[in-house]
Structure 1
Amino acid sequence: MSWLVLVVSGILETVWAAALKGFFKPASVATFVVALVLSMSGLGYALREIPLGTGYAVWVGIGTIGTALYGMVVLGDSVTAARLTCLGLIVAGVVGLKILP
């Protein structure tokens, strides 16, 4: 259950980060606050059973990758082989923290 909560919390990190783009609009502020509170609460819950370093890295990794992909797909950020490679390295690092002793 903790891992599911952690993944959802990482996705919510993407939501609150994306809401910063229109931060001075009331709907964006509301989205930011709700997603931030839920994301942090979920992270705190998950860290009761998941090691701190692993849990935080997974949470940040999901948020980083989600935010970068949101920027590329929705906001028109550049999509280059170098950027995709770097995102792949983040995935590799997070997976490594999970599966390696």
Structure 2
Amino acid sequence: MMWFYLILAGLLEVVWATTMKLSDGFSRVGYNIITVFGMILSFYLLSRALKDLPMSLAYPIWTGIGAIGTVIVGVVFLGDRLSPLSYLFLVLLLIGIIGLKVTSSH
């Protein structure tokens, strides 16, 4: 269950980061509400995962899911552009997250 909490927390990080961008500097109330609610729920689920997972494992995985997810959302839905080298580093980040999970005893 701890991994479910952690993955969901990371996905919610993508949600709140995206809606923060869409809030246009916190000037659009609907997006503001989703942003704040997403932040609270993401942090809550991260805290639940931290009850059973070491911080040195859970936090980088949480931030990595959020980072990779927001890049994907930015490129696919918001028209962000990345250089080819940026894609290489994104893949390296993904390999690092997978490596942390595979080498953990949890």
What CA distance in whole angstroms lies between the structure 2 residues aligned with 1:85 and 1:27?
Answer: 35
Instruction: Give percent identity, aligned residues only.
Output: 37
Quote the residue 1:72 is aligned against. 75
Report deviation, 1:95. 1.3
Report deviation, 1:36. 0.3
Report deviation, 1:42. 0.1
- Structure 1 stretches of 4+ with a deviation exceeding 6 A read none
- Please list every run of 5 or more consecutive structure 2 residues that lacks an aligned counterpart in the other structure: none
Quote the residue 2:5 is aligned against. 5
- Structure 1 residues 50-65: aligned runs within 5 Å: 50-65=53-68
Backbone CA RMSD of aligned residues: 1.1
- Please list every run of 5 or more consecutive structure 1 residues that lacks an aligned counterpart in the other structure: none
- Normalised to the residue count of structure 2, the TM-score between the two structures is 0.90
Q: Which moved more, 1:14-23 or 1:32-41?
A: 14-23
Report deviation, 1:80. 3.4
Report deviation, 1:81. 2.2
- Normalised to the residue count of structure 1, the TM-score between the two structures is 0.94
- Structure 1 residues 1-101: aligned runs within 5 Å: 1-21=1-21, 22=23, 23-100=26-103
Cα deviation, 1:68-92, whole Å, max 9, x if unaligned, reads: 1100001101143222211111111
